[in-house]
């Protein structure tokens, strides 16, 4: 989470909200994708977000976010490099 926050210039409290602003939503989606790459389940993400003061995220929101992040990586080579280097 810290690396994503640094890369996108947002703090953890902000990224864990349900904001639909692109500048907040996309880093959150990248976080979901990184969790998937590292074998972290959506249910664990839900629990972690809530325990860290975030707004409860639904399973479908996390799945959609991971898919969207995958598409963003296809469009942006710099983003792909960032995710691959974590």
pLDDT of residue 66: 95
**CATH number, residue 33:** 1.10.1750.10
Show the tokens assigned to 3.
Answer: 């690396």
Question: Containing domain of residue 79, as a range?
Answer: 2-84
Q: How many domains does the chain have?
A: 1
Contact 26, 72 (CB under 8 A): yes
Which pTM value belongs to this model?
Answer: 0.90
Contact 31, 44 (CB under 8 A): no
Tell me: the pLDDT tens digits for 27-84? 999 999 999 999 999 999 999 999 998 888 899 999 999 999 999 999 999 999 999 9
3 state SS of 18: coil
């Amino acid at each position: 989470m810290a690396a994503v926050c640094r890369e996108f210039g947002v703090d953890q409290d902000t990224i864990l909200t349900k904001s639909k602003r692109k500048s907040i939503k996309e880093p959150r989606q990248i976080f979901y994708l990184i969790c998937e790459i590292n074998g972290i389940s959506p249910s664990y993400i839900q629990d972690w977000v809530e325990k860290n003061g975030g707004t409860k995220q639904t399973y479908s929101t996390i799945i959609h976010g991971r898919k969207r992040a995958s598409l963003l990586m296809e469009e942006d080579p710099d983003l792909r490099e960032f995710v691959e280097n974590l």
